[in-house]
């Protein structure tokens, strides 16, 4: 049976704010079917790497938190530490980054908890029902301690997964640093020496010192130091960095789906995608390139697979912005693959569906 996905566009009549439309959207999507009374509710969010301006404004979080509080719940905003050494790799700098980006108890009306603790080591090993690539998943403890999980996701492109939506925020985002390592470690990138121009730009973004230069001034990735986070792939303006294991992006997507299942299984869950500032890369980047399509709208569903599929379809149906990276790309099949030719978003959706996380078959209800 098709899952219901609720949608509202970004248009606002005078006197009606986008935030009021968001409240109306999640109300119509029947978030109140969940019994929130006196329950801890983890709202999984991405606070944005400092420097990135495409991340969701805290106002969206406040709107969702206020709705949950009105239903009797006790919400908190949460994320886990990053694998790479950026400004969100331990709880102290992560919270500082969140504050810098405008998140606070005052701006959002709820507390913020870094779910995997000070050093990213406080996780729970959760069995993955039907998991083929991850029999267990290492998930941030505070997320697993919550009674209910709500994901609030900025929908955009992603350099390894193809797209970043609910599944990415749940699967990769709720993994502890060890969990993220587990998801990422099937592939480490390579540099095509005939394409590399020796500009050394990529090296600034590898916080593990894994990008080295020889006498020929060509970048080389030292796989002994590389963690396989994939962050450098999107930094090269000449597409010289690529994933040498064609299957690794696929395996990453399979594991993201399985980790997502570990997060939502056995407890109430609800998911919201905001499809605005559809940047080509993840909000983990300390910069964001121009949006590839115009802002589309807000989507909500109990089914994270249907939700992401509806957003993928909406983005692909939208015209490309000519001043974006899409104009520099060869066109292969759709916007996501055009931006990142080595990725295949279908593998994340199909595997999530296969393991029973949700359905790619959806009915769109526009409000």
User: Which residues form the interface with ligand SF4 (CB under 6 A)?
Assistant: 84, 188-189, 191, 196-202, 205-206, 208, 210-211, 219, 221, 226-232, 235-236, 238, 240-241
The token pair that represents 332 in the structure block: 């292969």
Rg (CA), the chain: 19
| Nearest distance from C-beta of residue 122 to ligand SF4, angstroms | 23
Name the burial class of residue 50, with classes exposed (0-12), middle (13-18) and buried (19+) by CB atoms within 10 angstroms of its CB.
middle
- Which stretch of DSSP H or E encloses residue 173? helix 166-174
CB 212 within 8 A of CB 222: yes
Question: 126 or 219, CB closer to ligand SF4?
Answer: 219
| Nearest distance from C-beta of residue 186 to ligand SF4, angstroms | 12
DSSP-assigned beta bridge partners for residue 271? 151, 301
| Nearest distance from C-beta of residue 200 to ligand SF4, angstroms | 5
Q: How many residues does the chain have?
A: 367
| Nearest distance from C-beta of residue 133 to ligand SF4, angstroms | 20
| Nearest distance from C-beta of residue 212 to ligand SF4, angstroms | 9
The token pair that represents 112 in the structure block: 């913020």
How far, in Å, are 74, 83, 300, 303 from residue 37 at the CA level? Answer: 8, 35, 21, 22
The token pair that represents 163 in the structure block: 């797209």
Question: 191 or 326, CB closer to ligand SF4?
Answer: 191
């Amino acid at each position: 049976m098709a899952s219901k996905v609720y949608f509202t566009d970004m248009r606002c009549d005078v006197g009606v704010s986008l935030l009021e439309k968001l409240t109306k959207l999640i109300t119509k999507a029947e978030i109140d079917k969940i019994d929130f009374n006196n329950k801890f509710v983890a709202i999984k969010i991405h606070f944005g790497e400092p420097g990135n301006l495409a991340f969701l404004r805290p106002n969206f979080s406040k709107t969702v938190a206020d709705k949950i509080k009105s239903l009797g719940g006790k919400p908190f905003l949460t994320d886990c530490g990053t694998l790479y050494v950026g400004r969100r790799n331990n709880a102290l700098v992560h919270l500082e980054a969140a504050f810098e980006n405008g998140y606070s108890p005052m701006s959002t009306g709820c507390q913020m908890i870094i779910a995997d603790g000070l050093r990213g080591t406080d996780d729970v090993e959760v069995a993955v029902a039907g998991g083929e690539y991850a029999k267990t998943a290492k998930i941030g403890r505070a997320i697993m301690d919550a009674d209910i999980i709500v994901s609030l996701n900025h929908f955009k492109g992603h350099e390894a997964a193809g797209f970043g939506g609910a599944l990415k925020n749940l699967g990769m985002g709720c993994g502890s640093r060890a969990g993220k390592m587990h998801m990422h470690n099937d592939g480490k990138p390579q540099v095509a020496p005939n394409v590399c121009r020796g500009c050394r730009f990529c090296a600034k973004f590898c916080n593990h010192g894994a990008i080295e230069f020889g006498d020929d001034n060509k970048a080389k990735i030292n796989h002994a130091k590389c963690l396989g986070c994939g962050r450098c792939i999107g930094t090269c303006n000449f597409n010289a960095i690529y994933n040498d294991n064609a299957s690794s992006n696929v395996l990453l997507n399979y594991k993201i789906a399985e980790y997502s299942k570990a997060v939502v299984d056995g407890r109430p869950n609800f998911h919201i995608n905001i499809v605005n500032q559809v940047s080509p890369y993840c909000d983990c980047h300390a910069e964001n390139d121009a949006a590839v399509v115009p802002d589309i709208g807000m989507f909500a569903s109990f089914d994270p697979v249907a939700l992401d599929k509806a957003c993928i379809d909406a983005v692909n149906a939208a015209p490309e912005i000519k001043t974006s990276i899409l104009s520099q790309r060869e066109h292969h099949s759709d916007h996501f693959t055009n931006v990142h030719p080595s990725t295949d978003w279908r593998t994340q959706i199909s595997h999530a569906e296969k393991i029973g996380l949700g359905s790619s078959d959806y009915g769109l209800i526009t409000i």
